[in-house]
Chains A and B, each alone.
Chain A
Amino acid sequence: MVLPPTAMLVVTLLTLPLATATLLFASGRQPRTLTLAAALLSTCAALALGLNVHLEGVSVHAIGGWEAPLGIHWQVTVPGAVMLLATAMVGLAGAVYGAGYFVHRPGPEGRMARVFMPLWLFAWGGLNALFVAADLFNLYVALEVLTLASVALVALSARRTALQAAMRYLLAALFGSVIYLLGVALLYGQYGILDLDGLTSKLDPKHPGSRAGAVALTIGLLTKAAIFPLHFWLPGAHGRAEPPVSALLSGLVVAAAFYLLLRLWFGPLAGLLTFGVGTLFGAIGAGALLWGGVLALMQRRLKMMVAYSTVSQFGFAMLVFPLALAADREPVVTGGTLLLANHALAKAALFLAAGSLVRASGSDRIDRLVGFTGSSRWAWIAVILAAAALIGVPPTLGFSAKWLLLQVAVAEGAWWWLGAMLGGTLLTFAYLGRLLERALLAPAPAPHPPKLKIALLLPALLLALLACVMGLWAFDVETFARLEPGP
């Protein structure tokens, strides 16, 4: 089989969601076949791209034929390709789920169904643009596309609580954008270029401009990634949005900001990653693990618990920075990327399944959820699989990621970070176990829970299954050996 060239696939991944979203908006109609076809085609393009990267390695594409630093480059890196694949999976699953979840009918009641798909595709296009971008300013614009689409998606239900959460999210995200942009301006003022490769070779850690720029970029991205203690906006936004929206936001949108943080600190800013900086990041991560985990344990509402779990899980991700201090950085980057991919699939599955359970139960109080009966059984199976992946039970993707990082920690003798990882895993086990125990051992009496459509069950189930199965494939670590693009 001859695969289309990588450049064509990148163009498809970027323009197809944007063009479809724009057409949907312009026509004012949402033909389900067209939107699902676009989603399916984008997913196929991402799969083909992943295969291309696997076979031919990473690649660079100059947009418009203008070489950097004058023009903008796209870079298809291995972590980027992994995130593109995760985006495609969650994107497709959410599109199918959304088609089943939002009722199509004329008039104001059908508003959500009409608005959801264009916004979903815009967010998808923004994510794709971000994962191939290799230019500080281009990354900023991609982040903005993503942010605006996400804010609109949070506000989708137009309920008072959702609007308040969306407003708070908007302000936090815009604050993050402005600070990030300040960092871009400082680095541009110091070096006169914006492309990441050029900055990597030019950046001198001793310049005050690089330090100030790095601080600004990092604070901006930490806000957007909702890393403790800048997570204040996340639980409301993710807990009060509609289920497919929460899945995208928790699984990918915060992950995209974190991915960028990884990309910068293991790229242009690598020279600035000193012991102090790494330890600070690690301390933040440990704090996030603890705070998010304890609050998740205390939640009474299902979706709020899952939202706090995101705060906690990104604490894990922050631990890659101290681990990268002494050791070879490649396994750390691989572990971090796999952690993000695992979280994307498992958390999206968890939110989608949670949405189905809430719909079946008529309440999102954990103690009022329906038990393991009827069609809800499949949603519970998805929850159990996703929980296994989040905890890191072998052979899930979560296990591969944590195993890689644990190995590094042991090899380095980084016992503090090892302890943080184990403690975080225990907390994850505790709050997810509490959910399963409450709901499965002492279910609320619900004589006839409504039957759930297959569109509300299958996407979550497949995503969770994927998170579990991909762990086997991910042990072929050679695939992930290189972060930087080759010749």
Chain B
Amino acid sequence: MAADLLKKPSSTSSQHQNKKVECADSLFDYLFAAMIDTLRTGGDQGPRKEELLAETVRAIGFDVGYRLAESIAQGRVLAAESLEVNVMKFICKEFWIEIFKKQIDKLQTNNQGVFVLRDAKFRWLAPFTANDESTRRAAATVLNFPCGLIKGALENLGINSTVQAEVAPAVPSCSFTIKIRRSGSGSSSSASLSAR
């Protein structure tokens, strides 16, 4: 997982995908924790502190997701018809496997541009064992990063969306709600859904 986020750009002469730089998962975990902590303690401490922190973490996730999707989608052609479903499957399978070495556990859709991705054992929530209010708030902060990841990857694959995460009652489980924002003359039913 961390290997891919921190992957060195491979040399141009060799096949990019065959050359993955391995590095420890724990390294990423520490880096991620340090990043959140630095952002939380540094920076703006005003009344909008929580909001700004969430925005920053999302922005970082977006950037990483966008770049990562470019690399993972390199050898993959996504069929243009029913692009949204194909892209969602791509996110649930290839993209998720690349990061977490497992698929998303459940993908649901209302066929109107809303997709719900459920991960029963989300790796980045594994450190959160208690089930009280403050833990859940901290978990929600952490989940801004994967939200950004998904949004960035979707953006790169041509889908404009909003992504929200919810922490499930049993903590290492969580779900992501993706609402697709269709522009212009798309189906009008989804236009009202996508307001944020």
Pair from one complex = no
Point out residues on B near A: beta carbons under 8 Å.
Answer: none
Point out residues on A near B: beta carbons under 8 Å.
Answer: none
